[in-house]
Amino acid sequence: MSDRIIAACDGAAKGNPGPAGWGWVIADSQGRPERWEAGPLGRATNNIGELTALQRLLEAVDPGTPVEVRMDSQYAMKAVTQWLPGWKRNGWKTASGQPVANRELVEAIDRLLADRDVTFQYVPAHREDGDHLNAIADQAASDAAISQEAAGTALGSPEMPVPAPAAAAPARRRSGGAAKRTSAGTASGGGGASRAIKAKFPGSCACGKPYAAGELITKNGSRWGHQACGS
């Protein structure tokens, strides 16, 4: 039997619903990234992006290869590992009697999981100490949501997406109302703007344009980007 490979998948929606995309990365059994793919979804929800990413990942893995799938979406993971049997018994209705959302995607994933050796691992998202493969999949999905273009190893893009710097968990607020700070020195209290830092790696801004390693960037909402693009 082949060694269990490690993979991660993620979806993104800029607005939820909004411009959406999906992405996955497949590594060897040691966790070394080997190939990736991402694609656009037009206007869709984040949940559709998450489920589509899992579907496309399973389609890319040989059915006979054991795989560990890492995800930061509890919805997508629980949908296919916990809730699915009950939905089937209830005629594809939820416990409250409502039709199951995104049923076609869930059914497609259910068929892909049949007779396969697949394990799922939840990993927290957007953490400085988070899972590297999940960060790559997240960046791939985010880039696809912005560009609305497909990319990946098989499409002539051999280099892995480089995740934007993730902020450390904010420190506990001290007495006296001191602002919380991240390890990058970004103040999140008192209404002040985020302080700029030099990017360690190249990445892409929410505006859709790239920034280079060494360029000054700042936290714009949930991601890093050009100073001029901050609110």
Give catalytic status of residue 117 as yes or no: no
Higher pLDDT pick, 192 / 89 = 89
Instruction: Judge whether residue 59 has pLDDT over 80.
Output: yes
Looking from the CA of 92 toward its CB, the CA atoms found within 13 Å total 9
Name the catalytic one among 11, 39, 203, 225: 11
Q: Supply the DSSP symbol for 49.
A: H
Q: Is 149 a catalytic residue?
A: no
Catalytic residue among 72, 143, 152, 226: 72
User: Catalytic pick from 31, 117, 126, 215?
Assistant: 126
Answer yes or no: 50 catalytic.
yes
Answer for the pair 137, 179: CB distance below 8 angstroms, yes or no: no
CB 26 within 8 A of CB 54: no
Q: List CB contacts of 224: < 8 A, sequence separation 6 or more.
A: 164, 165, 199, 203, 205, 217, 218
5-42: buried (b, 16+ CB within 10 Å) or exposed (e) per residue?
bbbbbbbbbbeebebbbbbbbbbeeeeebeebbbbbbe
Could you tell me the pLDDT band of residue 223, with boundaries at 50, 70 and 90? low
Q: Give 123's contacts (C-beta < 8 A, 6+ positions apart).
A: 8, 70, 71, 72, 130, 131, 134
Active site residue 72: yes
Element (H, E) at 163: none
- 120-179 confidence digits (pLDDT tens): 999 999 887 889 999 999 999 999 999 999 999 999 998 999 998 765 554 544 433 333
Q: Which of 37, 131, 138, 143 is catalytic?
A: 138
Query: Which of 49, 54, 63 minimizes the C-alpha distance to 18?
Result: 49
- Rounded to whole angstroms, how far apart are CA atoms 94 and 99? 6
Task: Please state whether the predicted TM-score (pTM) of the whole model is above 0.85.
Answer: no
